[in-house]
Amino acid sequence: MKVYNFSAGPSTLPKEVLIEAQKDLLDYNGSGMSVLEMSHRGKVFDEIHNEALSLFSELLGISDDYYILFLQGGASQQFDAVPLNLLKKGRADYIVTGNFASKAYRQAQKYGDIHIAASSKDKNYTYIPDVDNITFREDIDYVHITTNNTIFGTKYNRLPKTKAPLVADMSSNIMSEVMDINKFGLIYAGAQKNIAPAGLTVVAIKKELVGDPMDICPTMLNYKTFADANSMPNTPCCFAIYIAMLNFRYLKKLGGVKEIQKINEYKAKLLYDFIDNSDFYTNSVNPADRSIMNVPFVTPDKDTDIKFIKEAAENGLVSLKGHRLVGGMRASIYNFMPVEGVKALIDFMKKFEMQNK
């Protein structure tokens, strides 16, 4: 049975892309071999790699002032790489809006004087602090934010104004809505939520920020190592990059980020409207800060939540269990979750409510 997969990541890929990858699996484009096998230094892979890099910046409207880097190690490795590369005065401010933001902050503390400029921990991260009322310290190297909070289901709708470069973990909402990346000094994302299978980590960094890391920065975490080698100082995650390229082509054909944004907003609205009009399901996020990617919700009690998750899976709606920090359910409805998947979830929620009220 084909299921709808609401996993927070790795996540659903477009069926068209999977079929194309299957078609090419044994013999990519007449090369006589699979992308899984070929040298990353060969001409065939080189074309895949360069097309993926250029479609990435084209889809996001990133100017030539930035390096696009394809890395490994996940977004989590960037929690270290960012301070190791960007700390010069040794000071940075973080806005802590969830578990990953908190992890990023804690890692950075190993490398300098790191300060929490604002946090939404007081209400279990159910809102985004008012960005206009945050005061940042003087003489900081950067400000770090997490644009979408995967576990708690919030997102920024406006950016804080800072003199220092703005750095963002965009793992769970990159390419899901139009954002002006040129306002950031650096963005990074684990690709396994919105743009590719697991293994690839993407970074866009202003060129002027590259090349002056801390002395202790390992070579393989130094952005310059990758910038100087077109992201190939060593073997990249070739197959993930290939699927990313197919996904980028798919997105481009669809009309780009502004089109997928409309679809994403439509999917999210269907689900939130249904939850808000129900007296059985609840989402406790501040409505103005709701994520359009990750939608946490609960039924009236914990036992019913467990029953919901089990019966949903039996009905082909899988990976709906919420993160242990929040409990209940979470529907991750990233770029490639079809509208039909969200409609199927809502139909199931209606039925479940009638049977369990």
Ligand X SMILES: *Cc1c(COP(=O)(O)O)cnc(C)c1O
List binders of ligand X among 188-247 (CB under 6 A).
Answer: 190
Q: Judged by CB under 6 A, does residue 60 bind ligand X? A: no
- Residue from 72, 76, 102, 356 that binds ligand X (CB under 6 A)? 76
CB 170 within 8 A of CB 148: yes
For 11, the 3-state DSSP assignment is coil
Q: Rounded to the nearest whole angstrom, what is the least distance from the CB of residue 353 to ligand X in the complex?
A: 29
Return the range that interacts with ligand X (CB under 6 A); candidates 15-23, 28-36, 70-78, 319-327.
70-78
Cβ atoms of 248 and 195 closer than 8 Å? yes
Q: How far is the CB of 232 from ligand X (least distance, A)?
A: 20
3-state secondary structure of 126: coil
Give the residue with the Cβ less far from ligand X, 126 or 171. 171
Q: Which of 171, 176, 264, 319 binds ligand X (CB under 6 A)?
A: 171
Nearer to ligand X, 82 or 345 (CB): 82
Min. distance of Cβ 103 from ligand X in angstroms? Answer: 7
Tell me if 146 contacts ligand X by CB under 6 A: yes
Q: Site residues for ligand X, window 5-24 (CB under 6 A)?
A: 9
The residue with its CB nearest to ligand X is 190
Residue of 99, 138, 100 lying closest to 117 (CA atoms)? 138
- Residues paired with 146 in a beta bridge: 169
Residue whose CB is less far from ligand X, 77 or 278: 77
CA distances from 273 to 172, 278, 282, 285 (A): 22, 9, 11, 14
Q: Which has the closest alpha carbon to 231: 191, 194, 179?
A: 191
The rounded distance, in Å, linking the Cα atoms of 331 and 314 is 16
Based on CB atoms, which residue is closest to ligand X, 8 or 53? 8
What DSSP string describes 176-209?
TS---GGG-SEEEEETTTTTSSTT-EEEEEEGGG
Taking CB under 6 A as the criterion, the residue among 28, 100, 223, 226 binding ligand X is 100
Binding site for ligand X (CB under 6 A): 9, 74-76, 100, 146, 150, 169, 171-172, 190
